[in-house]
């Protein structure tokens, strides 16, 4: 057990141990980093600006996140973790892989209409496009997301090859993400979400069950 954990365990009643305080500070930094990316865009994303928002020096920020890469990596990890918590909750309420697929598509498409998702992810894509060191971080995040679709596809049709399931997951995830600019927050076609959900699901089931997915 680490020294931090021991200190937190023996902290006096009514006071927060340094371990808890540090976790809360990291959470605050990640939240402000996310808001900075949303409000000011990737061009203005820096440790110095995050530090200003939190009320710390850049050196203090680097105590928790030594590099900008580490800050972005942990920010993405925090965000994707929240999505997977929701995916697990959705799966617990379903009775079949088909129902789970529909519920996941429904959740992801509806999520595109939130202001956070509409703004944050395009800024994230811009960050990845203009700064190659972040491209792999973003790819890793989406690879984990696509694994959900891949697993469901193989559960529905075990005769699919791994490559077919991977290609299906890539096609479906990119198809849904591509709707961001059209059905996102305050976009012209937000009202079409239910139709998009049904079409995406119908298309997916047809492809999976027919096995007509190129390798």
Give every CB contact of residue 156 below 8 A, 6+ residues apart in sequence: 97, 98, 101, 205, 208, 209
* Whole-Å CA distances, 163 to 58, 153, 173, 176, 198: 45, 11, 15, 20, 25
The pLDDT tens digits of the residues spanning 86-95 come to 999 999 999 9
The residue ranges of every structural domain in the chain are 1-66, 68-215
What is the CATH architecture of 1-66?
A: Orthogonal Bundle (1.10)
Tens-place pLDDT, residues 129-179: 988 888 888 898 999 999 999 999 999 999 999 999 999 999 999 999 999
Contact between 137 and 73 under an 8 Å Cβ cutoff? The reply is yes
| Beta strand segments in the chain, E | none
User: How much is the pLDDT for 88?
Assistant: 96
Residue 27, exposed/middle/buried by CB under 10 A (0-12, 13-18, 19+)?
exposed
pLDDT tens-place string over residues 35-81: 998 999 888 889 999 999 999 999 999 999 998 889 988 998 898 89
pLDDT-derived band at 21, boundaries 50, 70, 90: confident
Residue-level pLDDT at 3? 40
Domain 1-66 and domain 68-215, same fold? Reply is no
Annotation: CATH topology of 68-215:
Tetracycline Repressor; domain 2 (1.10.357)
pLDDT at 204 over 60: yes
User: What does the pLDDT read at residue 1?
Assistant: 35
> What is the pLDDT at residue 69?
85
Alpha-carbon gap, residue 10 to 211, rounded angstroms: 59
């Amino acid at each position: 057990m680490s020294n931090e954990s021991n200190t937190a365990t023996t902290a006096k009643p009514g006071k927060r141990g340094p371990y808890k305080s540090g976790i809360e500070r990291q959470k605050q930094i990640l939240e402000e980093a996310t808001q900075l990316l949303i409000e000011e865009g990737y061009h203005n994303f820096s440790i110095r600006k995050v530090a200003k928002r939190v009320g710390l020096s850049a050196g203090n920020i680097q105590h928790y996140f030594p590099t900008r890469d580490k800050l972005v990596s942990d920010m993405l990890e925090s965000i994707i973790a929240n999505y997977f918590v929701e995916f697990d909750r959705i799966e617990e309420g379903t009775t079949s892989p088909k129902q789970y697929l529909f519920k996941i598509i429904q959740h992801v498409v509806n999520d595109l209409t939130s202001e956070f998702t509409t703004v944050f992810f395009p800024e994230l894509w811009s960050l990845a496009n203009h700064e190659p060191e972040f491209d792999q971080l973003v790819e890793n995040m989406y690879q984990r997301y696509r694994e959900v679709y891949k697993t469901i596809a193989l559960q529905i049709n075990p005769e699919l090859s791994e490559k077919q399931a991977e290609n299906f997951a890539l096609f479906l995830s990119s198809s849904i993400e591509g709707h961001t600019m059209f059905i996102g927050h305050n976009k012209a076609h937000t009202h079409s979400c239910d139709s998009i959900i049904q079409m995406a699901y119908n298309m997916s089931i047809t492809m999976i069950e027919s096995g007509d997915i190129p390798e």
